[in-house]
Amino acid sequence: MKQIKILFFFITLALLFVTLSQQRTQAATCDTITWNTPLENTTNIFTLSGTIANCPGTRHVRVKIQYQRTDNSDQPTTLMTPVTVTGGALSTDVPFTYPVTIILTLYDVDNTDSVIVNPNCNTVPDNLKSNSKCNWLYYTSITPGKTVPGTTPSAPAITCNNSFSFTGDQSLLVCPKDCPTLINLQGTNYQCSTQNLTNLSLATADVRLSLKPKSDAKDTYIVNQAYATYLGSSGSTTTTTPGSGADIPPNDNTCNGHYIFGEWPNISQLKNFGDPECTMDEPKERDNLYAMLQQLDPSHADDWFNNIIPCETGHTYSPNSFKGDSPASGAYGLFQMGGSGQGGTIKSNNGNPFDFGDVIWQKQVSNAISYNKQLIQSGSGFHYWECAKYLW
């Protein structure tokens, strides 16, 4: 009897192990993919997010995002925007200035990089099926300036030319042109420049709201970086990107005397690493800096532009700023980040592939924001910058 009990115990143990093992292997189906409705969180910046069920921690997955004009007047183009993959959740920000169709595809890296097929492919239009295969997982159409965040997925887009009324018990998040942040109209303290909407109560009154079109003339920046994001076999990890080295070599161009080298605070052999082509010494180009910040980090663009950059650069906004006597023996650029040791700078990179400030200003911006996104994920956002103490 005792022997039977012991045997029964080990059989149970074996079954338990087999069950757990099955969960690990069967989890690789990745067959439940949910993408949320794209949200336009600032002008022309859309956030795509979603989750892959039964997949995290079990498989290497590669994500590709393509876009194509909604009128099909061009071919699908791969979007070089970093996709964050954490566990089973994916998200990315995509900037567009014209109506596009977004196509997202997952590839199974462990299985000859084959496409993970959309299980619901029968429900999508034929013209979005590539080579008669349903090899994408999600598509949607977005129109800059004409979508309203917060509406339900099935709600029709609100066009800019028409008024729109609702009596709603629905929650509508919308930001007219002059509002600094998104405002929930279901609240009773609507504080915006449109005075006749103050203290409205949607439960008792219809509201007629006119939306102004947003400018669709933004520049789109694509920094020369390659991103590769994987779900590791035992969790998620992200391979980092080369953020060092200048694609355009530093030179001696002072941009008509705009930049002075070697005078702050010590004499240096530095060259113009931050703006070798003089693309940030005019007001229009300062404007471009803000546009890029807004594109890459819309929620903190104002912090970067109005506080962190001026403070870090001695209030000069110079992408050639440097501080040679810092403990790290070298801080460079708009964000006073590490040096690569090239072009006269001191090698002071802290080991993070984004910690390079002695590069062209567009890459400085990209490096800083990418680095900070890593910090945010680890719960220490902005801790790299003393000038951002108020955000710690």
**3 near other proteins, judged by CB under 8 A:** yes
**107 near other proteins, judged by CB under 8 A:** no
Residue 199 Ramachandran class (φ > 0 left, ψ -120 to 50 alpha, else beta): left
Closest separation in Å from C-beta 248 to other proteins: 21
The residue range among 93-101, 108-116, 166-174, 375-383 that interacts with other proteins, by the rule CB under 8 A, is 375-383
Q: State how far the Cα of 347 lies from the Cα of 342, in Å rounded to an integer.
A: 8
Closest separation in Å from C-beta 20 to other proteins: 6
Residue whose CB is less far from other proteins, 170 or 380: 380
Selected binder of other proteins within 1, 20, 205, 226 (CB under 8 A): 20
Q: Write out the DSSP string of 291-358.
A: HHHHHH-GGGHHHIIIIIHHHHTTSS--TT-EETTSTTS-EETTTTB--BS-TT--B---S-TT---S
**22 near other proteins, judged by CB under 8 A:** no
How buried is residue 236: exposed, middle or buried, by Cβ count under 10 Å (0-12/13-18/19+)? middle
Residue whose CB is less far from other proteins, 17 or 171: 17
* Secondary structure of residue 38 in the 3-state scheme: coil
How buried is residue 161: exposed, middle or buried, by Cβ count under 10 Å (0-12/13-18/19+)? exposed
Closest separation in Å from C-beta 378 to other proteins: 4
Task: Give the max Cα distance, the chain.
Answer: 95
Residue whose CB is less far from other proteins, 125 or 327: 327
**235 near other proteins, judged by CB under 8 A:** yes
**108 near other proteins, judged by CB under 8 A:** no
The residue range among 32-40, 94-102, 141-149, 229-237 that interacts with other proteins, by the rule CB under 8 A, is 229-237
CA distances from 200 to 109, 152, 285 (A): 53, 22, 41
The residue range among 32-40, 97-105, 244-252, 332-340 that interacts with other proteins, by the rule CB under 8 A, is 332-340
CB neighbour list of residue 63: distance below 8 Å, 6 or more residues apart: 83, 85, 90, 104, 105, 106, 107, 229
Region 345-364 residues binding other proteins, contact defined as CB under 8 A = 350, 352, 355
The residue range among 46-54, 116-124, 150-158, 279-287 that interacts with other proteins, by the rule CB under 8 A, is 279-287
Residue whose CB is less far from other proteins, 134 or 301: 301
Residue at token pair 């993959």: 85
78 bridge partner residues: 66
Selected binder of other proteins within 46, 264, 322, 356 (CB under 8 A): 264
Query: Which helix (DSSP H) or strand (DSSP E) does residue 383 occupy?
Result: none
The residue range among 106-114, 117-125, 135-143, 370-378 that interacts with other proteins, by the rule CB under 8 A, is 370-378
Residue whose CB is less far from other proteins, 105 or 372: 372
